[in-house]
Structure 1
Amino acid sequence: MPPVKRLLSESEAAVGSEPISKTDSFILKGSKVRACAECKRHKIRCDMKTGATSCTRCARKGYKCVVNNQLHQFIADDKDWKSTWASQIEQVQAAVSDLLQRNRMPDLSSYSSRDRSGPIEQAVIVSSNEDVNTVPAMAMTRENSAEPTLEESELVAAPMRSLYEVTKLRNLRSNLNTVSSGASPSSAMEQDFISRGCITIAEAEMLFSVYYRTINQFLWGGVAMMHADLESVRRSSSLLTAAIMAVAALHIPNSTDLLNTCYKEFASLVSQTTLSRYHTLDDIRALTIGAFWLSDLSWKLSGQAVSIATEMGLHQCVRKMLKGDKSQHEGAQLWYLLYVLDHQFGTAYGRPPIVREDAAIRNYRTYLKCPESGQRDIRLMAQVALFAILSKTYELFGSDTDQEISEESFVQLREFNVEIDRWRLHWQPQHLVSPYVGTYPSKGVVLHYHFAKFQVNSLALRSTTPNAKLSTDRKEAADMAISSAIATLNMVLEEPDIRNSIVGVNLYTHAMVAFSAVFLLKIAWNWRTTSLNVDSSQIYDLLDKIVVLMSGSLASDKHMTFHIAKGLRRMLNHLRICEDDGTNSDESRQKMRVGEEEDLSSLALGFFDESWNDFSNVVDMFDFFQPQWPNL
């Protein structure tokens, strides 16, 4: 009888070991032990007949016949245990892979078995915003759920959904929590930058209070922030927490260090979430808040917020809500907010808007009839209605600054003016006094009315030179653009609730104020000898007052108002120097051009450097409605 081979040790029997050797295969195949205990003790032949329960000797002697088959039983039990354990390991691996993906950590295959602290240390690194150099491999992980039947699947669906049904690959799946307002998968209150000690709890509470009681109210009654306390925000979204902290710090005097800390945290979290598949409504709100106030990020954040929202299906929320699903109200409200954001910065940056005027946008009046809608929704829908008008202007006249509009186009231009007049008459009475910002809601309607009239009528001078002979219609529209720009600045100076809010309003308002100022400066310099209604001394005096107002703002020195004041003061000084040297001469023009080139050469691209958001070249941002003026 060949010697019995040794049993596998636990380490050798582990799952994932090498293929079974010949020695081990003998044990797995091993024949049953035939001798009973009595025969084996006397070392005699044990004769066990087929079907008998006792051997011949034990039956004759009356002994209890016990066959010792422990080896065979051990092998059978070992095989069952391995099978069960392998199945459980597969389940654990699938669960860990899903958690790593949700938390934007490297794929499971990137963790070496020798790296005992790998996953924990990686999580700490990610949460502390240090650079992670490991790039995970492309994940091609299948879902563990049961395969859908053809009867259960939609007949006509998005192509990617069909591809997902076929392959079951996780990386093809959209965010299934479409309108979830719960905590973000990336939010961890215990690991955010407040818990890490980057800023103190007292500083965080102060920043939240500043944002909630003042800044938040300028954004149409706080439509972009639904939390009443700091703890609620922190538990919901680390990204939203950082956005609120950064925007609040921007509005506090002598807070450069605090602003830098909060800004860097927000920018870091935005970078980390760029390729993330899982987001919540609060994550989108964070991007929206950042876009409205952080000038160097607004161009990117506005587009990213819209992109994530469409991935989450927010564009479908209005339709579902109007069909009676009240749970969709929050997502529908946010979609309207993104429409306004997208169109404001489409205007500001001279780019076509992403969100189009579909049925959801056209049904904003029906949305207001829902019992869930309130005063903040009225303020928001007023903006939606206004940009629906301006979008028609864009579609008709385009954004080509070299294309002069035809004389026949002034009929449509007058129609747009009438629509804007009706817009003001309809919406201004519906805006009530706010306990936080006074009459700003209704006065803000008038301010945006002047913005719109200025933008539309300035088209009359697009690609037109000062020495060109203007028709009656063109001159009428140009004079209306000039009067609207002047009315904009006068309102900022003379209306107390507008004047007091100039620090807290968002970037679009600052941009339009600066655009109006620069427009008037160019009119005063290049067109004062024409038939247009231009009073240079009135314009200079008006802009001097704007400079004084914005220079006295109570905010961080990084706030946009200081840079608007700095840029306008520089332009006014150039104009006055040139007037002293000679009235509108070629030499004066050249001197101004050189001065402006020197100003622009000082612009840098670094975070929060001396001129990170310099507004001296503000007019270049507005190609949408910008006339192609001769160089100053």
Structure 2
Amino acid sequence: MSHYLGLRKPQNGTIRRESPLAGHKLATPAPTLQTLLEDDVTWKGAVVQKIKRLEDTIAKIASKIDLSDLDLQPRPEDPEPMSPSVAVMANSERPASPGLQLRDERKLTQTWEVVMDPRGGPASIPASCVSENIRTALPNSLPTSRRSDLISTGIITLRQALALFDTYHLRLDHFLYRILGDHISLDSARIASPLLTAAVCTVGALHSPSLGHLFEICYAEYKDLVTSQVFSKNLNADDIRGLCIGAFWLHELSWALIGNAVRVASDINLHSGIYKALKGDREGYLQARLYYLVYVCDHHFSIAYGRPPMSREGFIIESASRLLETEHATEDDARLISQVKEWSVLGKVFDTFGVDVDTAIAPETIPQLRRYSIALDTWFADWHESFSENRRVGNYPQKGVGFHFHFAKLYLCSHAFRGVPAGENATQCFSPELEEIANAGVLSAMSILRVIVSDAEFRSFMNGLPLYFDTMLAFAVVFLLKVATKYATVIRIDTSKILSLVSQTVVALRGITQSMHRQHLLVVIAEGLERLLVRCQVPVPAAQEAAYHASPAMEPHAHFEMGWMENMASFDFQTNFPDMDDWWIHYNTPMGPGRAMGPV
């Protein structure tokens, strides 16, 4: 080393270096290895900090001038930055200045400030005067749209992504009133949100006959994106779309996803868009429309599971019909608003009767239950003939109104069985009014099953409809089996006709699910109902015996289904559909409860 530094080392252990002053020799101590390492680390640390500041500056410039293709992520051939352990070692012996340390702590923790909007008056939102300084809170964060997605990272190819986008955009999105909105191309979705892109690809793979093998990797990427952005301050309306798409179709994540969507929707004030929408503003229209989608999705996964909805009623819900009077409204909007109206009624049912399924409803509340039933009848009359055939999903817009109506009536009328014991003792609990309501529930459940059995077009919809349909179909089957086996002496029903209809439905479900992805919830439900029917020893019509055959592999789990039936304390929606964790435990699907973020 001395040779390369132009130094020579004498025998006495000191280094003599030629001095330009006075021609005499200067003796200096030899630099130790520790000193050299510290100097090297200090230099590298300074360079890394300068590069980091340069990257931050470029990122800010890119966000201002919309350089969407700019990639600041390190490539494999790029040198790795200095490890944290080395930096700590280098700086551990250099005590920081108390004043500098205090300023750094304030910079990290004090991200809120008092503000006063000069355009607003005293009648403002109370908390609007205390606002978080996003630039201070997240100095190194990039907008969501600047992050890589599952295509740029090589998880799937561009060609595969295009096919999955078409599967979702050209069919599935039309079942849910076009969640994508203005995003009619993959490029548009990618620019808008990697989360939205992952959601579309994941749900598309779940319903793709040729690319279903991509579901697991797309699903894993989507879940990672959701997890990494839980605390992000940069989520936007398109990220909400991605959360809703996942919630509507991905059973393991639905409750957690819609909870996050409701939170973000509130954070960005989607509920206030209705005020601008009613004045003709298109941005306000898009905001209000997206809020209605969040509202419907939230109610799909709350009321039917005994959970209070997180989205609130208010002016935006009361004014839903007025959105259809704006210049931007379409038939898809009318379908969406019809759902808002229906779930507003069911939300009131939930608030009135609660979730105490073990206690019979009070006699004085029966008139209120009847009023809700009339409200649903009125809803059906208002919307049943409102929709025409859709070029993407056929006659679903009209047929879906009828299906939703019977789902709602079944949920409402199942309240008649609350706290009613099975068998002979039930007779004394049923008043004529309750018996009438109970029979209405039976008729609605049978109407649901008849559609599945007799309507080939509607059966083709089942590999595409959101999770709510699968759940309610399972509930209708269980409801009728319970009535036929436990309450046949209480209400006037044709038991043999009910059991025959149930067996035909199970056969139909097997046919529907044969070509579906094995991770689809309806596949699990179809197999579970088939096992349940075997345990109930319901005879299958002779004409269907060849088609209907319970696999021997199902038998080890059969005791579970019967126990589930026997252990239902009362006859209400919440107690007639098993907890989904039990389905995963007993049906041994790869996506078990240990991996779930929330029951669905």
The question of a shared fold, defined as TM-score above 0.5 by the shorter chain, is answered with yes
Aligned to 1:471: 431
Residues 527 and 534 in structure 1, CA contact (< 8 A), matched pair in contact too? no
Describe how 1:176-575 pairs up with structure 2 within 5 A. Answer: 185-188=143-146, 191-220=148-177, 222-253=178-209, 255=211, 257-466=213-422, 467-468=425-426, 469=428, 470-528=430-488, 530-552=489-511, 553=513, 554-575=515-536
Aligned to 1:612: 591
Residues 244 and 258 in structure 2, CA contact (< 8 A), matched pair in contact too? yes
How far is 1:118 from its partner? Answer: 3.9
Residues 256 and 557 in structure 1, CA contact (< 8 A), matched pair in contact too? no
Q: Deviations over 1:477-510 (max 9, x none)?
A: 0111111111111122223332210111000111
Aligned to 1:81: none
Residues 585 and 592 in structure 2, CA contact (< 8 A), matched pair in contact too? no
Q: Deviations over 1:257-303 (max 9, x none)?
A: 31101000100000111010111211000000000000000011111
Aligned to 1:140: 108
Distance 2:166 2:410 in 1: 36
Describe how 1:101-120 pairs up with structure 2 within 5 A. Answer: 117-118=80-81
Residues 460 and 474 in structure 1, CA contact (< 8 A), matched pair in contact too? yes
How far is 1:323 from its partner? Answer: 3.7
Distance 1:594 1:370 in 2: 50
Structure 1: gaps spanning 5 or more residues: 1-88, 103-114, 122-135, 174-183, 580-587, 615-620, 623-632
Residue 140 of structure 1 aligns with an amino acid whose one-letter code is: L
Cα distance change of structure 1 residues 256 and 439 upon mapping to structure 2, 3 Å threshold:
closer
Residue 207 of structure 1 aligns with an amino acid whose one-letter code is: L
Query: Which segment is superposed worse, 376-385 or 320-329?
Result: 320-329
* DSSP 3-state at the match of 1:576: coil
Aligned to 2:89: none
Distance 1:386 1:591 in 2: 32
Distance 1:367 1:359 in 2: 12
Distance 1:517 1:187 in 2: 45
Q: Deviations over 1:581-616 (max 9, x none)?
A: xxxxxxx9999329999999986589x9725369xx
Distance 1:195 1:381 in 2: 37
Cα distance change of structure 1 residues 602 and 519 upon mapping to structure 2, 3 Å threshold:
closer
Distance 1:423 1:172 in 2: 48
Distance 1:491 1:185 in 2: 47
Distance 1:301 1:369 in 2: 31
Distance 2:341 2:254 in 1: 23
Cα distance change of structure 1 residues 225 and 570 upon mapping to structure 2, 3 Å threshold:
farther
Cα distance change of structure 1 residues 258 and 541 upon mapping to structure 2, 3 Å threshold:
same
* DSSP 3-state at the match of 1:243: helix
Residue 281 of structure 2 aligns with an amino acid whose one-letter code is: D
Distance 2:398 2:561 in 1: 44
Cα distance change of structure 1 residues 593 and 323 upon mapping to structure 2, 3 Å threshold:
same
Residue 498 of structure 2 aligns with an amino acid whose one-letter code is: I
Residues 288 and 305 in structure 1, CA contact (< 8 A), matched pair in contact too? yes
Cα distance change of structure 1 residues 523 and 199 upon mapping to structure 2, 3 Å threshold:
same
Residues 492 and 502 in structure 1, CA contact (< 8 A), matched pair in contact too? no
* DSSP 3-state at the match of 1:500: helix
How far is 1:511 from its partner? Answer: 0.8
Q: Deviations over 1:230-276 (max 9, x none)?
A: 12211211111110111111113475531101000100000111010
Residues 249 and 255 in structure 1, CA contact (< 8 A), matched pair in contact too? yes
Distance 1:594 1:477 in 2: 25
Cα distance change of structure 1 residues 611 and 159 upon mapping to structure 2, 3 Å threshold:
same
Cα distance change of structure 1 residues 600 and 95 upon mapping to structure 2, 3 Å threshold:
closer
Distance 2:308 2:366 in 1: 23
Q: Percent identical across equivalent pairs?
A: 33
Residue 474 of structure 1 aligns with an amino acid whose one-letter code is: L
Residue 475 of structure 2 aligns with an amino acid whose one-letter code is: F
Distance 1:575 1:295 in 2: 27
Distance 2:117 2:155 in 1: 53
Aligned to 2:10: none
Distance 2:111 2:580 in 1: 54
Q: TM-score, normalised by structure 1?
A: 0.68
Query: Which segment is superposed worse, 404-413 or 153-162?
Result: 153-162
Residues 240 and 283 in structure 1, CA contact (< 8 A), matched pair in contact too? yes
Query: Which segment is superposed worse, 308-317 or 493-502?
Result: 493-502
Alignment equivalent of 1:593, drawn from 539, 551, 563: 563
* DSSP 3-state at the match of 1:355: coil
Aligned to 2:128: 161
How far is 1:158 from its partner? Answer: 3.9
Aligned to 1:80: none
Q: Deviations over 1:380-408 (max 9, x none)?
A: 00001111111221222122212311222
Structure 2: gaps spanning 5 or more residues: 1-49, 64-77, 85-103, 541-557, 568-577, 594-598
